[in-house]
């Protein structure tokens, strides 16, 4: 609906697994973002990419590794996560940094 798609929509993984979240935007935007949404906490910005270059890393643990191969695709690689990493992971894009952000539906991640 918003032009930003995320897969998978739901993911359950063990602490020793490696998985990846995918985000794709069909809006021709130049900036893409990863957010974490936990219960009872505000949306937390994790990473920002502008023209495929990472411009922000909000002190995110190294077990989260982003990848932006082009302006339309954004990945979040997950490795040896903790149960407290269980959350809704949202991807967003904007025309440029500082513009309105359009969000995808999110991936609901559960770490066992």
Partner 1 sequence: GENVGLHLPTLSVQEGDNSIINCAYSNSASDYFIWYKQESGKGPQFIIDIRSNMDKRQGQRVTVLLNKTVKHLSLQIAATQPGDSAVYFCAEMNYGGSQGNLIFGKGTKLSVKP
d(CA 101, CA 81): 27
Query: Is 56 one of the binding residues for partner 1 (CB under 8 A)?
Result: yes
DSSP assignment letter at 84: G
Torsion, Cα of 56, 83, 25, 72 (10° steps):
50
CB of 93 to partner 1, least distance (A): 11
User: Residue 60 burial by CB count (10 A; 0-12/13-18/19+): exposed, middle or buried?
Assistant: middle
Question: Nearer Cβ to partner 1, position 34 or 64?
Answer: 34
Q: Which stretch binds partner 1 (CB under 8 A): 12-20, 48-56, 63-71, 75-83?
A: 48-56
- Asked whether position 95 contacts partner 1 by CB under 8 A, the answer is no
Q: How far apart are CA 13 and CA 86, in angstroms?
A: 10
- Is residue 55 involved in binding partner 1 (CB under 8 A)? yes
Contacts with partner 1, residue ranges (CB under 8 A): 2, 4, 6, 31, 40-43, 45, 48, 55-56, 90, 92, 96-106
């Amino acid at each position: 609906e918003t032009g930003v798609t995320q897969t998978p929509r739901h993911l359950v993984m063990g602490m020793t697994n490696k998985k990846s979240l995918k985000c794709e935007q069909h809006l021709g935007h130049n900036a893409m973002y990863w957010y974490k949404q936990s219960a009872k906490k505000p949306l937390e910005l994790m990473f920002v990419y502008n023209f495929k270059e990472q411009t922000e890393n909000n002190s995110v643990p190294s077990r989260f590794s982003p990848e932006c191969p082009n302006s339309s695709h954004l990945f979040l690689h997950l490795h040896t996560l903790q149960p407290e990493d269980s959350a809704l992971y949202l991807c967003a894009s904007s025309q440029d940094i500082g513009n309105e952000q359009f969000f995808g539906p999110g991936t609901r991640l559960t770490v066992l």
